Amino acid sequence: MDTTTSTEAGTLLRAQNMSTWKSKLRHCLKRNVLLIAIITSVVLGVILGMFTRRLKPSPHTVSLISVPGDLLMRMFKLLLLPLVSSSMVTGVANLNKSRGKLGIMTLAYYLCTSVIATVLGIVLAITVRPGEVTKTDPLSDRVHDMPLPVTTDAILDLLRNIFPENIMQAAFQHSKTTFTKYMTEPVNTNGTTLTKHSSTKYGGYIWQKSVNYQDGMNVTGILLFFAVFGVMLNKLGESGRAMVDFFHVLNEITMNMTKLVMWYSPIGIPFIIMTKIIEVPDLETSAQQLAMYMVTGLLGLAIHSLIVLPTIYFTLTRQNPFRVSLGMVESLLTGLGTSSSAAALPLTIRCCEEKLKFSKPICRFVLPIGATINMDGLAIIQALTPIFLAQMNQRMLTFADLVAISLSATLASIGAAGVPGTGFITMLLVVAAVGLPVEDAYIVLAVDWFMMRMVTMVNVYNDSLAAGILTKYFTPPSNSEEISN
């Protein structure tokens, strides 16, 4: 009798365990259905692209295949301006409680680490050169069919774009120094010959230098305008609350539209990958370039999270930074699974308060701000991507281009919201900042789903380090009133 009862109890326990396991599996699949769909779409796009490439389709067929992918890219570009403007303004304007030393140190820390991350991404891109897996045609040996703008011209172009004449025009045009070819010395409309300062001889022709507007968003001007706009709105306090609410609602609407686009992405991504595989002249080289892009990006994230940030934390606190990473395992895994700093925020707060014993008021103040404006990992990838694309297209970037990338990547990472899907959209802004066609960025969509999860882990880790550093230097208020965002 006892044996029968024990057997029945064991069977019942196994059934309960099996039911619990199935329930957890269903919950996991439901929570990660978009991730699974994107991974599946990437694999499907590679398989179909390889198969279709062997069939050698006509250009007309290729253009039809590219339509769903083109629609996805159009959706991404459509959301660029409203997403970045609303995120930038709300991210800065909502810091109305950040006055004082705590707020200044919080913002200073996040800004400094973002700048370091951007510089790291640029240095790695220039050093590793992931877009040049073959060394047969180095950029330095290329022969140009026209004179290139000198460093002074590039810097002046950057300054003109930082201060655009018209903010509406900046949404679709930017200033650039260009050259026009003449067979003989050009003349002005009044009949006088142009001075030597505005024309030059090159390749047997005379080239007239001028500053013109070209198609393409003026990214640096727009980002700086809305950053300053947010700061001024912050200073207005309650009198500017209506405008803050407007941008907050705009941000929420844009975020919901972004989520809709992300649900369409598993449909568009296979066609983007198929089109790229069909059109690329050397598939093996392109695959090697994309692999090197991933390796370089992961190397940058590893250096930043394992060397740079721990060094800063140890220098400022004289405490073991890896103790923080052990206490943040649950939050880091959540960020890995969701690709969202905002989704991991509740767990980040709980891990910092309960496991790491950081100051509760400081955690409640610092961590929500970090989930909004601290995107160090994204800054690395955003700095790497345009240089990678320029190397693929054998385009030489000037020093001013690198400055534009630094500025745009830093501001775009601050303005990027901590939700899935926004990282690639803001990446397009940085690509456009140096005049590269944003359509070229679709090649990184094949690995974007993976890279953004690594990025989120770096962002969450840096948030926790910031809470630890500020806990070291600030004493919570005596009345224990929690500071909230």
DSSP class of 163: S
In a domain, 23, yes or no: no
Q: Say which CATH number the domain at 464 has.
A: 1.10.3860
Question: Domain span at residue 270?
Answer: 32-172+216-473
Q: Angle at the Cα of 339 (from 363 to 361), degrees rounded to 5?
A: 5
Q: Would you say residue 128 has pLDDT above 80?
A: yes
Q: Is 233 helix (H, G, I), strand (E, B) or coil?
A: helix
Q: How many domains does the chain have?
A: 1
- What is the rounded average pLDDT of the residues 341-350? 76
Q: Would you say residue 201 has pLDDT above 60?
A: no
Among left, alpha and beta (phi > 0; psi -120 to 50; other), residue 332 is: alpha
Give the tens place of pLDDT for each residue, 396-437: 777 777 887 887 777 766 655 545 555 666 777 777 777 777
Q: Which single residue is written with the structure tokens 């057997």?
A: 7
In a domain, 211, yes or no: no
Q: Decide if 441 contacts 451 (C-beta within 8 A).
A: no
In a domain, 424, yes or no: yes
Whether pTM > 0.75 for this model: the answer is: no
In a domain, 159, yes or no: yes
- State how beta strands 199-202 and 173-182 pair: unpaired
Report the DSSP beta bridge partners of residue 279: none
DSSP H/E element including 112: helix 101-128
Give the tens place of pLDDT for each residue, 301-338: 999 999 999 999 999 988 888 888 888 887 887 777 66
**What pLDDT is attached to residue 478?**
43
In a domain, 25, yes or no: no
Determine the angle formed by the axes of helices 80-93 and 360-373, rounding to 10 degrees.
Answer: 160
Q: Dihedral of the CA atoms 302, 306, 312, 313 (nearest 10)? A: 130
In a domain, 139, yes or no: yes
Spatial separation of the C-alpha atoms in residues 335 and 347, rounded to whole Å: 10
Report the DSSP beta bridge partners of residue 214: 174
Q: Angle at the Cα of 220 (from 460 to 296), degrees rounded to 5?
A: 45
Among left, alpha and beta (phi > 0; psi -120 to 50; other), residue 421 is: left
In a domain, 426, yes or no: yes
Of 110-114, 186-190, 365-369, the least confident = 186-190
The pLDDT mean for the chain works out to: 76
Report the DSSP beta bridge partners of residue 20: none
Of 187-196, 386-395, 454-463, the least confident = 187-196
Determine the angle formed by the axes of helices 241-279 and 422-433, rounding to 10 degrees.
Answer: 80
Q: Would you say residue 296 has pLDDT above 90?
A: yes
In a domain, 210, yes or no: no
